[in-house]
Structure 1
């Protein structure tokens, strides 16, 4: 079978228009929708020496004047990588809006800043009608991905709009942002090194010199290193204000999934300690679908946290010295565990086409605080019962829930349980922080 002839091809290079067409053809069957103009429309950065395609960097070459080309092999390799990504459109991660943007969004070393770009476009005053005249100047894609085809908008409290993207796409864009930052840093290092070694009498030639100056089609991307407890026992309040923290975090792989570059520092809001650097996807996976002032909805994602990936998540939560010393979990996690595991046998079932189905959706609320265990009570209820028969399943005192969890932990994750307890911890916190009371903001405060 003969290879398709691509206009503008010479010595393995193709022009940007041909690259746009090739990218569209190669990713036509991808589970992740791609956009036209990946090389020629904003926010593509061909004149900066590279273009992002998914989590892949394709370098660009200036052939003459204002004409740029890219290696065909780089486009094909990026397309092949994207075509392997599986996506579940129902597994969503909230991407905004938030009252305050994460510190990483203001990092100039991350030109993609995909969350910031989406926020700017969706919060444009006047809505789509007013923005229409400026359509040519707006971002048409992010790393060649048409995010608008996958964006889900949900209304909370009857008025507030929230934005969601599939988890696979969030992981992909986070990886693209990390790859771009590594490429920019490596390129800057090369330029600095070349400037220091060039003789003073011989001016260094820049990228505008005559003739194409190709670099590696892959671009220099450093693999993130594994996290090895470097931040154990550190307080988040002090570490988050330290200069250079965001850059240091980006150098680690996510401590939970261990496959994606870390982007944030996960920390225990109950005790204030840093757990570990994690990616945005894992940072949101542990949270419920809805969090209110003193109750949470226990969605199906907790099946993964407490059953299929139990050991990894329990080990991660117990990176907090406070939780490890008490052999427990933060109050919202303990409440979710109580509803999902301790009260599993109490949940009614209803007839379904294929056997029986658990009734409704679990919700657990609490009164009081874990800092006053005698007054803290967890109430497990069922919402959305098809027949309207069930509501309150159980009321479990905090102390009883904590004791049940300790017994379950010893049976389910004995290695985690063996490392827990005040007699096994030298740096036991002298004073525990209370759970932050304000949970009306970003669904993050209790976690």
Structure 2
């Protein structure tokens, strides 16, 4: 390994070419594919003073006419990437969306990885541009070769959608967040320096300062993220979201669900209007039921994972809403998904396949009435897209029965969460519960 970097090493710094070779070698066995031109290939640009690598910001220094980076930082970033576990089946849609997600409208960072991917894919759709790109400059994002993991799906052979593994999305979100904080720290440092208003230097010192500024990049790491400990519990989202500076405060926490990625948005209960916790974009999307309409959802495999892996964490997160916790239940779309996936699991038919019997079609739940009138609310669980052409109604479950089943299951699955729930008291809850909001576009993430 030392042979890769000794030729370009100067006091712990290595040239960009040596850093490329070191990064490729150290991450050869990583679950996340990496690019060979992490430091020299587009869009990496050492001249701006830093390079993104994985979820880290790496300062660059110019010495002897060459840009260099610390060898130890490259090794540290590679070790962090090698520790990432990736499930290629756990995909997250990254576009195209009919409307730009609200979180992406004011990103304020040069990375903007979602926009970069969208631009690249649209550019490759042109045969002439694709031919010119062949054999050209490598393209990566924070040293990650995203093209090797991109999944393209066609819906009805008309609409293309693009997907990446959730672990990769979290890495790129972390890189974007780290870059934002790093740039903010540099800007704050520049403002403090300008506010001092020092005595005008002599021409010789001014020339020396200019040379130092060109050959050295400041390396002041941003303040560490702090874990969320319930500071916003009990606040109404409609009130808290309007307070100035709340967006900056949210980004100072780690995600309250996964505990690793930086928080980006405030997740809240759409029925009671209470803030649950700050979460990252990946967890916020994962928490969203597919096809959220006024009275119908599709229970896809991505959403059913919430009731199979990390179940306790998600139950605890949902019960951060005082309304759901007091009633020992879930918001209506989540309760409907749980009823279809868990309470009606034994009713779902199966079909014979190449690898044994597989569950039939896709589960869909619709309901009549409202959670505000439990006696009239009825959940209907059906199977869509059956391979044999059948469309079968599995069960019709009254809302109160579904809530009672969930309470029993909650006590068995997460007793600590169940112990903190109930009794069903309405003291302090909003006088008018906020109804489930329809996603009119069916694609936008703006509601979340």
| TM-score, length-scaled by structure 1 | 0.86
Any residues of structure 2 matched to 1:290-329 within 5 Å, and which? 294-302=295-303, 304-329=305-330
Q: Once the two structures are superposed, what CA deviation does each residue of 1:173-219 show, in whole Å capped at 9, x if it has no partner?
A: 11111221222222223333333446323377656428843655xx5
Which is further off, 283-292 or 162-171? Answer: 283-292
Q: Distance in 1 between matches of 2:110 and 2:444?
A: 27
Matched, 1:378 2:365: no
Where does residue 129 of structure 1 map in the other structure? 127
Where does residue 50 of structure 2 map in the other structure? 50
SS where residue 142 of structure 1 aligns? Answer: coil
Any residues of structure 2 matched to 1:18-417 within 5 Å, and which? 18-64=18-64, 67-107=66-106, 109-123=108-122, 127-129=125-127, 131-132=129-130, 135=133, 140-156=139-155, 158-197=157-196, 199-202=198-201, 208-209=211-212, 212-213=215-216, 220-288=221-289, 294-302=295-303, 304-349=305-350, 358-383=359-384, 391-417=392-418
Paired positions, count:
443
CA contact (8 A) 1:293 1:440 kept: no
Q: Once the two structures are superposed, what CA deviation does each residue of 1:324-357 show, in whole Å capped at 9, x if it has no partner?
A: 3433212211111111222233334566788865
SS where residue 152 of structure 2 aligns? Answer: strand
Mark the CA change 1:211 to 1:157 in structure 2 (over 3 Å): closer, same or farther. closer
CA contact (8 A) 2:92 2:169 kept: yes
SS where residue 189 of structure 2 aligns? Answer: helix
Which is further off, 32-41 or 332-341? Answer: 32-41
CA contact (8 A) 1:293 1:437 kept: yes
Q: Distance in 2 between matches of 1:441 and 1:3?
A: 54
CA contact (8 A) 1:269 1:445 kept: no
RMSD: 3.4
Q: Distance in 2 between matches of 1:235 and 1:160?
A: 38
Q: Once the two structures are superposed, what CA deviation does each residue of 1:393-440 show, in whole Å capped at 9, x if it has no partner?
A: 211122221232233334433433343347656421111112123454
Q: Distance in 2 between matches of 1:117 and 1:244?
A: 28
Mark the CA change 1:373 to 1:5 in structure 2 (over 3 Å): closer, same or farther. closer
CA contact (8 A) 1:272 1:433 kept: yes
Mark the CA change 1:417 to 1:108 in structure 2 (over 3 Å): closer, same or farther. closer
Mark the CA change 1:302 to 1:436 in structure 2 (over 3 Å): closer, same or farther. closer
Q: CA deviation at 1:133?
A: 8.2
Which is further off, 225-234 or 136-145? Answer: 136-145
Q: Distance in 2 between matches of 1:445 and 1:179?
A: 23
SS where residue 209 of structure 1 aligns? Answer: helix
Q: Give the unaligned 5+ runs of structure 2.
A: none
CA contact (8 A) 1:374 1:398 kept: yes
CA contact (8 A) 1:296 1:365 kept: yes
SS where residue 199 of structure 1 aligns? Answer: coil
CA contact (8 A) 1:422 1:428 kept: no
Q: Give the unaligned 5+ runs of structure 1.
A: none
Q: Distance in 2 between matches of 1:439 and 1:16?
A: 48
Mark the CA change 1:34 to 1:271 in structure 2 (over 3 Å): closer, same or farther. same
